Amino acid sequence: MHNIIIKKILIISFFIFFVTPANGETVHLDISDKITANAEFYTGKDNMPFVLILHGFMLTYNFPTVKNLAESLNESDYNIITPNLSLGISQREKSLACEAIHTHSLEQDIAELEQWFKWLENKTDQEIILIGHSTGSTHLINYLSKNPSTKVKKLILIAIPDVKIGFQKNQFQELQIKAEKLIANNDISLQNFKMAYCDKYPTTAENFISYLELSKEKIILNLDKITIDKTLIVGTEDKRVDHAWNKQLTQHGVNIIQIDGANHFFDDEHEFDLLDFIENIINKK
């Protein structure tokens, strides 16, 4: 335990005094006529693997958990790309508020991920490691289950959230029924739904329904389709995950690493634990 603390202090000191923070290069990718998506690309060594880190629900690559992880791994010479899901907003730079109009759907998100994978495949022949934080993990599971790639060697999932968490009993089903009815009625009007931690989530029923693909059941099904090395890192203090369900994932080929005391975002010193574990996973042959 002491060794770990000393190590953390040394790393912090190193960052403060010796390491120039790595700055990524913004990469633009035209998703459609109107939408251009951005990603931050941190160039590492040519012979080093490419790591794609996907942010959580409605966040951006500037979210500290993602950004710090990207910069740290880049310091270890990995080539890092952190795409921003546009969520229907061209060159979105800020996290999208719950109350904002959500014109995006899971399909669109996955389509954007597909384009980034294409961009990545065009960019390198090196092996690719996927890291998803929170909902980013579920997006990667969803994508990878549909688009298996030989270049992708490892899938690191950080704190897979439970989409139903926070919902009252039957609330999720009621919303689902409501959405399905609206879809059935071709109603494309905005409705206030509840999504993850958002109590107010104005979107269309169709868009709302699309994200039900990220349910625990669907995740397990999709995980089973993914054959590469899969590791789940979860903080013991993370309130947004279903720890019991996480344990079940080992049965589906997922290695689980628990970091004591870490929350959903691996703040403070847990950031370094997360980095250590991830580097260990990446470096593990």
Q: Which residues here bind another protein, judged by CB under 8 A?
A: 28, 30, 34-36, 88-94, 96-97, 99-101, 103, 190, 202
CB contact burial 203-216 (16+ within 10 A = b; e otherwise): bbbbbbbbbbbbbb
> Based on the number of CB atoms within 10 Å of its own CB, is 259 exposed (0-12), middle (13-18) or buried (19 or more)?
buried
Reading the block at residue 155, the tokens are 């899938």
30 or 174: CB nearest another protein:
30
Q: Give the shortest CB-188-to-another protein separation in angstroms.
A: 9
Smallest distance from the beta carbon of 267 to another protein, in angstroms? 23
The secondary structure of residue 102, as a DSSP letter, is B
Nearer to another protein, 11 or 37 (CB): 37
Choose between 161 and 202: whose C-beta lies nearer to another protein.
Answer: 202
For residues 143, 145, 151, 152, the Cα torsion angle rounded to the nearest 10 degrees is 80
Q: Tell me the closest approach of the beta carbon of residue 192 to another protein, in angstroms.
A: 9
Minimum CB separation of residue 84 from another protein in Å reads 10
State the virtual CA torsion across 246, 250, 256, 262 in degrees, nearest 10.
10
Strands 229-235 and 152-158: parallel
Nearer to another protein, 85 or 156 (CB): 85
Q: Which residue number, 92 or 154, has a Cβ lying nearer to another protein?
A: 92
- Nearest approach in angstroms of CB 51 to another protein is 24
